[in-house]
Structure 1
Amino acid sequence: MTNYALTNSARPSFALMNLAMTSDVVGSGGGTGGSEVFADGNDDRERLARAGLSRVVEPGDLAALKAFDGMSALEIWDRLRQKSSGLERWSTRLAEVDPQRDLERAAAAGARFVIPGDDEWPDDVEVLAEAGQLTRRAGVPFGLWVRGRGHLREALTRSASVVGARACSSYGEHVAAELSAGLADSGVTVVSGGAFGIDAAAHRGALAACGTTIAVLACGVDVSYPKRNAALLSRVAEQGLVVAELPPGCSPTKLRFLARNRLIAAATQGTVVIEAAIRSGALNTAGWAEQCGRAVLAVPGPVTSRMSAGSHLLVRERNAVLATSVADIIEAISPYGTGLTQPPRAPQSLTDTLDPDLQRTLDAVPVHTPAPATRIAVTAGLDLPTTHQSLEALTALSLITQTPTGWHLPPAHVALGRGQEGGA
């Protein structure tokens, strides 16, 4: 049986989360009764309260943040059940809420409900308490419904979200899969939203590399949305985790997608945007990452592509890091002074190491017809002794060939091209 912490000081086992939990429950009462007592004798009112609130209150509801400011989850739940004045906004859902039933439904789907104080709770999402609002959404979730065998907090310790267009191009799909596979190979958890396009490519890339990936949904963890991604989401749950703020059975809505984006941004160390139009949910996620103090990266695309216009906007106007490789991403999400990379450089050739006199002499040697040292000296603008010394040195390095009538470039050097090799 798995143990789940309730507070930092006490961590009683939570029998309800066991798949055989229905036989463990002593007493009933559903979501509108008193405190729930389980076979191990533990009072788990806070977990039930938070489970109930996750169904009653819409994710990121600004009105709820204002109405419940300063209250604990138990206080909010008790006031709602007591039908306190001023809380009528949430009364229509309250009558149908049964948090115990939701917990049972989650367990039947192989899921659990993680709340603050649990060992598995990702503390990074607490930044949402100070991150402000965006698109009328804000706030820390009451809890997270988690499906899969992985440990949520540990999986998110080193993680990056990869997001972008649903209707992506083959270029965007390829880049998302390649970068995600590289991140997974480097031990970075790839987080995305489980949608078509870039999201799906990111999950598949991480899975192909046998890495960890997390899908954060705008619906219940037992709901496959979109349906055509059902097999993919099942693989994600097997190899990683599927996470949702909403309880089992809930369907996605536009506002729920926007609320979901704040979790993706807050839970990871950085957000990588691949192919995003000017009006894009991926840009919303990037906005949340900015407000949460996380790294924001954008992968460049063709300047003629509208699908990359939003990505380019992030770089040009919002100081996003230009990401062209896995190393770029790891450097951006790593603690300061770690994960540093060197800028790309062309490989150094032998001619790059030549001193100026040798380089000038080499540039003056003809391609085909051998020339004497006197002619080469004139072309190079050097005195004859210096030219002779340089020609001998270049011959020893096999960069030029000496014949009875003078010097010329060897065939291999000509094939490479004098301009490319000599820098002329």
Structure 2
Amino acid sequence: MTGGVCDEERLARAALTRVVEPGDEHGGRWLRECGAVELWQRLRSPGHDGVPLPGASARRIGGYRLRAAAADPDRDLAAAEEAGSRFVCPGDQEWPSQLDDLGDARPIGLWVRGGSHLRIWALRSVAVVGARACTAYGAHMAASLGSGLAERGWVVVSGAAFGVDGAAHRGALAAGGATIAVLACGVDTVYPRGHAELIGRIAEQGLLVGELPPGDHPTQSRFILRNRVIAALTRGTVVVEAEYRSGSLATARSAQKLGRFVMGVPGPVTSGLSSGVHELLRGEGVLVTDAAEVTELVGDMGELAPPRAGPLLPRDLLDPVAARVLEALPGRGAAGSREIAREAGTTADEALARLYELHSLGFVERRSEGWQLVSDRTQTVDARRGGA
């Protein structure tokens, strides 16, 4: 599934995932300028003194070399294979080329666990991210978006964290759909521990993806840097509940920089968990409330959300003159046809003709003292006069 890169290149890149931190643009620049094999040789060779690579101090190069000395890519690749995962590199058929938009911050490679094809899945994917300590409303909206997107044939991408991430994954899985979890640790490492069952289900039904080699652990900075991969991998990012200081907003900002669609689900203005989303919506974010509105934005031509309108009432089907005549009737009691014509701004003959039409349709009835609304229509007309 990974064919396209020679064994030496794959081995060097696997080793460099032990040496260079995700998103390290110094490392990305060296990788671009030297190539993976040459960079790996420089970092692991004790014969290179001084500063063999531009843009970093001797101390920093020393740190890279310490990591390089401890790296064992053969062991990592064997451990990955044993765990049912693989290492995908730029140049492989499975590599999602949209990640190249990250420039020197592009992943060195991706460790992938799951049987599906990463590049194909990523072509039609949407990120759903948000607060870990979300409200019941946030969890409901994330799950609804996850299931709705899955039902429309979209792959749901998130970070497998508590809160919104987990709800989005579960929504997609419950709909029998596809989901990708981008991890800030090795794909054989369960984090958070409370999501062991969920992560196991994603590995079976979806894909686990990470930049870090087998057994590596998450850190705060790795969580933040992981978000750029989520943003680049997908066509758009939906934020469901986020405070002003939120990693989910970092994903949205990355998506904006990359020219991806950025969307937000509104919440109560009194909720701190919606404050970050609302700030996003005050900028370039697009307000969405369900999966149909998301797919209208990120999907192909013709993937439109259904038109939104209130309920269609029988009176909405009346022609304008008949509607004016109906409005002219008093809310209580009866009125003569001439009085109704005056209120409706029409002739007495036309008003009378329309009154008989309205009678046939069940809107009005004739009494000895004149015309009046049918009793079960009275409240509807009164409400229309006072509310709309």
| TM over 0.5, shorter chain | yes
Q: Is the 8 A contact 2:153 2:177 kept in 1?
A: yes
Give the letter aligned to residue 99 of structure 2.
V
Q: Is the 8 A contact 1:159 1:191 kept in 2?
A: yes
Which residue of the partner structure matches residue 88 of structure 1?
A: 62
Aligned-residue offset at 1:402: 2.1
How many correspondences in the alignment? 377
Give the letter aligned to residue 124 of structure 1.
Q
CA distance in 2, matches of 1:423, 1:61: 59
Which residue of the partner structure matches residue 272 of structure 2?
A: 306
1:169 partnered with 2:135: yes
Aligned-residue offset at 1:259: 1.4
CA distance in 2, matches of 1:152, 1:381: 67
Match of 2:288 among 323, 326, 329: 323
Q: Is the 8 A contact 1:125 1:266 kept in 2?
A: yes
Aligned-residue offset at 1:69: 4.5
Which residue of the partner structure matches residue 2 of structure 2?
A: 4
CA distance in 1, matches of 2:71, 2:331: 86
CA distance in 2, matches of 1:88, 1:68: 17
Q: Is the 8 A contact 2:331 2:381 kept in 1?
A: no
Alignment of 1:266-345 (within 5 A): 266-317=232-283, 319-335=284-300, 337-341=301-305, 343-345=307-309
Give the letter aligned to residue 104 of structure 1.
A
Q: Is the 8 A contact 1:50 1:73 kept in 2?
A: yes
Q: Please identify which structure carries the higher helix content.
A: 2
Which residue of the partner structure matches residue 238 of structure 1?
A: 204
CA distance in 1, matches of 2:73, 2:143: 38
Q: Is the 8 A contact 1:161 1:270 kept in 2?
A: yes
The DSSP-based 3-state class of the residue aligned with 1:53 is helix
Q: Is the 8 A contact 1:363 1:418 kept in 2?
A: no
Distance 1:417 1:379, change over 3 A: closer
1:416 partnered with 2:364: no
Match of 1:58 among 8, 21, 34: 21
Q: Over residues 89-125 of structure 1, what are the superposed CA-to-partner deviations in whole Å (9 max), with x where a residue is unaligned?
A: 3011112111010011111111111112222111111
Alignment of 1:94-243 (within 5 A): 94-129=68-103, 139-243=105-209
Distance 1:127 1:66, change over 3 A: closer
Alignment of 1:348-363 (within 5 A): 348-363=312-327
Q: Is the 8 A contact 1:399 1:409 kept in 2?
A: yes
CA distance in 2, matches of 1:379, 1:142: 77
Q: Is the 8 A contact 1:351 1:422 kept in 2?
A: no
Aligned-residue offset at 1:229: 0.6
Distance 1:212 1:421, change over 3 A: farther
CA distance in 2, matches of 1:156, 1:4: 15
Distance 1:421 1:103, change over 3 A: farther
Q: RMSD in angstroms over aligned alpha carbons?
A: 1.9
Percent identity between the aligned chains?
Answer: 49
Alignment of 1:26-41 (within 5 A): none
CA distance in 2, matches of 1:299, 1:199: 14
Which residue of the partner structure matches residue 405 of structure 1?
A: 369
Q: Is the 8 A contact 1:351 1:421 kept in 2?
A: no
Which residue of the partner structure matches residue 23 of structure 1?
A: none
Give the letter aligned to residue 60 of structure 1.
G
Which residue of the partner structure matches residue 12 of structure 1?
A: none
CA distance in 2, matches of 1:193, 1:185: 20
Aligned-residue offset at 1:180: 0.8
Q: Over residues 64-101 of structure 1, what are the superposed CA-to-partner deviations in whole Å (9 max), with x where a residue is unaligned?
A: 23444412111211222224342333011112111010
CA distance in 1, matches of 2:98, 2:271: 35
> Stretches of 4+ moved more than 4 A in 1?
66-69, 421-424
Distance 1:64 1:158, change over 3 A: same
Q: Is the 8 A contact 1:191 1:215 kept in 2?
A: yes
CA distance in 1, matches of 2:127, 2:269: 24
The DSSP-based 3-state class of the residue aligned with 2:105 is coil
TM-score when scaled to structure 1? 0.84
The DSSP-based 3-state class of the residue aligned with 1:288 is helix
The DSSP-based 3-state class of the residue aligned with 1:296 is strand
| 382-391 or 254-263, larger mean C-alpha shift | 382-391
Q: Unaligned regions of 5+ residues in structure 2, if any?
A: 52-60
TM-score when scaled to structure 2? 0.92
Give the letter aligned to residue 111 of structure 2.
W
Give the letter aligned to residue 234 of structure 2.
T
